Amino acid sequence: METINIIIADDHQIVLDGIQSFLEKEKEIEVAAVFKDGAEVIDYLRDHTADVAVLDIRMPQMDGLDTARHILKNHPKIKILLLTMHDDSKFILQAMRLGIHGYVLKDKSKEALVGAIHCVYRGSKYYSLDLQDKLVDPSLLNDDKPEQVRLTDREIEVLTLTGEALSAKEIASRLDITENTVNVHWRNLREKLKLTNDKALVRYAIKNGYTEL
């Protein structure tokens, strides 16, 4: 599969180091550069590009939303994923109205972030269900793919691990849930994705970039 070239901007060095550290372990993701401010991102993009820009919202000089506006206008091929602690509906709605491709909260799992990166890279929108519940007008989520399947954060985690050919017991242990819960997620995933068996789930996870080969 193709390597996803990403850049990251967050004004908290510890957070930035942590995100960079675990994403660099993903074979299909390459962290090209990291920044502590949106203005640095804009400077970088004068001579470079990226597939996905992962941006915090609150940053000095130029925040994530202003940075996103610039990227959307001047570098429309770059997908934008906001990674933030802010779950206020005003920020979520701003992001949607700007056309930002995804929005992930910092309290989500590493697997959820990786899944979100793959999702926006493929051209889909990623706004998890818990964020959608905060919206006055969830129809803003609609894009050019009206029948696009929307998975919960937990379903993305289960799908990612399923693609690694882990058993229900192994997935349950990894996610600290019961085997029965894993089986429920598998059933829901098969129904949502219109797949007939668990082997098809494995193939789907690999084909669509949720799992590395």
Domains of the chain, first to last: 4-141 (3.40.50.2300), 153-207 (1.10.10.10)
Q: Mean per-residue pLDDT for 6-22?
A: 93
Please give the model's pTM, rounded to 2 decimal places.
Answer: 0.66
pLDDT of 95 above 80: yes
How many angstroms separate the CA atoms of 106 and 195, rounded? Answer: 31
Task: Decide: residue 117, CB within 10 A, 0-12 exposed, 13-18 middle, 19+ buried.
Answer: buried
Q: How confident is the model at residue 205 (pLDDT cuts 50, 70, 90)?
A: confident
pLDDT of 145 above 50: no
Q: What is the dihedral of CA 79, 148, 165, 52, to 10 degrees?
A: 0
Percent of the residues in the chain that have a pLDDT greater than 70, as a whole number: 89
